[in-house]
Amino acid sequence: MSVTIIIPSPLRIHTAQRERITVEAATVGEALRCLCERHPGIQNHLLSEDGGVRRFINVYVNDEDIRFLSDQKTGLRETDVVSIIPSIAGG
């Protein structure tokens, strides 16, 4: 099924400036892997060497943080939107 991934501005350099990418995936993990296969430069910014989502990257399905769902095993439906949101720190 097709789901949409929203790419944040700082990472669009790796997606030819595309804000939205559509992928075929049944889970969040599949969606992220598909995104990384199509746009290899983004992988180091999203995923750690063990395949987990990097510590300062938040991933949401619709408005739900995947850390409070089933993480990368979170299932997706045709109408779902996966949002990648880098953490912002400062003071």
**Residues 6+ positions from 11 with CB-CB distance below 8 Å:** 42, 45, 46, 84, 86
Do the beta carbons of residue 42 and residue 36 sit within 8 Å? yes
Supply the pLDDT for residue 48: 95
Supply the pLDDT for residue 91: 60
Task: Look up the CATH architecture of domain 2-86.
Answer: Roll (3.10)
Spatial distance between the Cα atoms of 20 and 12, rounded to a whole number of angstroms: 9
pTM of the model: 0.93
**Per-residue pLDDT tens digits for 21-47:** 999 999 999 999 999 999 999 999 999
Domain boundaries, the chain: 2-86
60 pLDDT higher than 80? yes
What tokens appear for 67 in the block?
């850390």
**Residues 6+ positions from 59 with CB-CB distance below 8 Å:** 28, 32, 53, 65, 66, 82, 83, 84, 85
What tokens appear for 41 in the block?
């430069």
Supply the pLDDT for residue 20: 98
